[in-house]
Amino acid sequence: MSSNPKISVILPTYNRAHLLPQAIDSVLNQTYKNTEILVIDDHSEDNTREIVFSLQKRYQNIFYFKNEHRKGVSGARNTGLEKATGDFITFLDSDDLWMKHHLQESAEILTKYPAADMLFRAYTIYDLADNKELDKVTLSQKTARKFRGKRIGHELYHFIGRELFNYFIGTHKNEFCIVTVVLRKKLIKQIRFDERLSISEDTDFFTRLCLIKKPSIYCLNIPSATIRLHSYNTLSGQKDIAVLINRLRCHIYALNKYLQDKESLGLSKKDMRRIKKELAIRYAKLSFQIFKERRFKESFSTYLKSYHFFPDISLKIEIFEALKMIVFFLTPREYFKRLQDIKRTLLKKSF
């Protein structure tokens, strides 16, 4: 491989013309210059096209592709993967940013360690509304120990992909974020994002990648990206329940898919037991959320699915969720709304 490998930056976008230029600028301002920026317009209805065209007049490494119809973030990323010509692949959402040394440092590590298939980085979460940093997401020592991460340098860790499979199917803080990853193109020739998933499509992508390719994964525990929260990617109030139900349904779909593809994914009996345990947890949580919407019959049938996959886990969750249900129905709705407002206020003041 060249000492100056080309990096393909896949940048999906939909109706974010007001944020897109900042994301593109964060790539153009990188100290690493051998890049191609693939803007994948998922059939936007704003002036995204005009903004990209104006930038193309000044920068020859910006390329624009528009999907003929909305395909979602998975479909947009898949379009980018088909168009990419670089040695390395990376992803940047149109509302997020990179620090200027992100690609330089990542390329140096992947060049220094030829056995490394992909590299993740730590990142920060920023609230655009309040114009302040909310959190810094780094790899915890607990995660490193639990999933057998080996420290090989200053804040640099090495994982075996087969071990991180257990991380990605669980319910963990997102310490491995798609906006920070840089990976070798040859690693993903036959793997694409599942376009049936609207949430957690990146987690599903990494899960299948770990099982099929068993990659050597590195993680540099120094932040180099910023995830920006704003009104277009956050919901509150009653909509939270609908979002959570959708998220749980996506998780359940993906976990069931792994069981169906157990032979091609090379799942062991231990792997299948772990997946069934996670399915039981997700079905039980989904049952509670559906119960909160007073769809009692559907809630009960969903809970039975949880019990089917892992009775012991379901019974433990049942007791806890039952207590939550009692509190939920005995507490007036206006109290819940007030508690949510207090929680948001305290959260903002804590940073």
E strand or H helix at 187: none
**Which amino acid, one-letter code, is at 79?**
T
The label of the residue with tokens 């020592």 reads 141
Note the pLDDT of residue 253. 97
Model pTM score:
0.86
On whether the CB atoms of residues 19 and 84 are closer than 8 A, the answer is no
Tell me the pLDDT band of 337, cut-offs 50, 70 and 90. low
Tokens of 25: 């600028």
Tokens of 185: 């193109």
The label of the residue with tokens 């810094």 reads 136
CB 80: neighbour CB atoms within 10 A? 22
Does the pLDDT of residue 327 top 80, yes or no? no
The 3-state DSSP class for residue 221 equals strand
Note the pLDDT of residue 325. 56
Tell me the pLDDT band of 3, cut-offs 50, 70 and 90. confident
Does the pLDDT of residue 158 top 90, yes or no? yes
> What is the per-residue pLDDT across 206-252, written as a single tens digit (0 to 9) for each?
999 999 999 999 999 999 999 998 865 543 334 578 889 999 999 99
Q: Which of 21-35, 198-212, 264-278, 329-343 has the lowest mean pLDDT?
A: 329-343
Nearest to 10 by CA among 91, 98, 93: 91
What is the rounded average pLDDT of the residues 144-160? Answer: 94
Does the pLDDT of residue 318 top 70, yes or no? no
> What is the per-residue pLDDT across 242-288, written as a single tens digit (0 to 9) for each?
889 999 999 999 999 999 999 999 999 999 999 999 999 899 889 98
Note the pLDDT of residue 156. 97
The label of the residue with tokens 């301002």 reads 29
- Between CA 79 and CA 77 the distance in angstroms is 5
Nearest to 4 by CA among 31, 22, 27: 31
On whether the CB atoms of residues 258 and 267 are closer than 8 A, the answer is yes
Note the pLDDT of residue 23. 97
> What is the per-residue pLDDT across 91-141, written as a single tens digit (0 to 9) for each?
999 999 999 999 999 999 999 999 999 999 999 999 988 889 999 999 999
Mean residue pLDDT of the chain comes to: 88
Tokens of 315: 């019974």
Write the DSSP assignment of 53-88 as a string of letters: HHHHTT-TTEEEEE-SS--HHHHHHHHHHHH--SSE
Tell me the pLDDT band of 72, cut-offs 50, 70 and 90. very high
**Which amino acid, one-letter code, is at 180?**
T
What is the rounded average pLDDT of the residues 163-179? Answer: 88
What is the rounded average pLDDT of the residues 67-94? Answer: 96
- Between CA 162 and CA 165 the distance in angstroms is 5
